[in-house]
Amino acid sequence: MTPNRRPVYYGRMEELSTKEILLRAGKSLFIEKGYHHTGLQEIVKSAGVPKGSFYHFFDSKEAFGIAVLEHHMKSFQPFIEKPLLEDKTTPPLKRLRNFFLSGCSQLASEGYQGGCIVGNFSQEMADQNETCRAFLESAMQTWENLFIECLREAQSMGHISSREDVIELGHFLMNGWEGAILRMKLTRSRKPLQNFLDLVFNKILVTGD
């Protein structure tokens, strides 16, 4: 290799790094301030990159918002979803509880502010951008399906009543959790999350046969 000459893939590595920095900066700002209250100038300033670098990767703020959501889901799945919800060495209801407890811990570390970026975008963007709405619905459906799989497994093991409709329960868990996070943001406390956990695991997901 010629001295002081960068390898041909060096630029590509820089591009990936810059894109990652932008996505992380955008996610942080969107959670803190919301999509509509975050400007492009804030994003590039937080990322420490020129605005031209933003448009090198993203055609618009809307495209960037969807990319942030995609990045969130891709980073969330291997470290949170699969280890907690798909670990067959752990009983299914305990997997569900661990998933929600992990969420509680993350939200506590943020001072019970900010909330869930998927839920936040759903409130801000579902009526305004069809591509974004469809992605958000798909993301929530992914979580619901994992909840339903745990519930179906728990039901087959006799851990919850055979009379329960696990699909409806899965919907309830998704809707109840997002609702609890919304109320948490208003109270800035764990109480709504704890109410959700107590109701689900002490009253609803119990053997009733």
pLDDT digits (tens, 9 = 90+) for 32-76: 999 999 999 999 999 999 999 999 999 999 999 999 999 998 887
Tell me, what's the pLDDT at 202? Answer: 95
Domain with 159, as residue range(s), is: 61-204
Domain-terminating residue out of 12, 36, 58: 58
Q: What's the rounded Cα separation, in Å, for the pair 39 and 61?
A: 9
- pTM of the predicted model, to two decimals? 0.84
Whether 191 is in a domain gets the answer yes
pLDDT number for residue 159: 95
Choosing from 58, 73, 95, the residue where a domain stops is 58
Contact 104, 190 (CB under 8 A): yes
- Same domain for 66 and 54: no
CATH number of the domain that 138 lies in? 1.10.357.10
Report whether 35 contacts 127 (CB < 8 A).
Answer: no
Per-residue confidence (pLDDT) for residue 143, from 0 to 100:
92
pLDDT tens track for 123-182: 999 899 899 999 999 999 999 999 999 999 999 999 999 999 999 999 999 999 999 999
* Residue 63 DSSP SS3: helix
Structure tokens at 139: 């993301």
The answer, yes or no, to whether residue 9 has pLDDT greater than 50, is no
- Residue 209 inside a domain? The answer is no
pLDDT at 206: 85
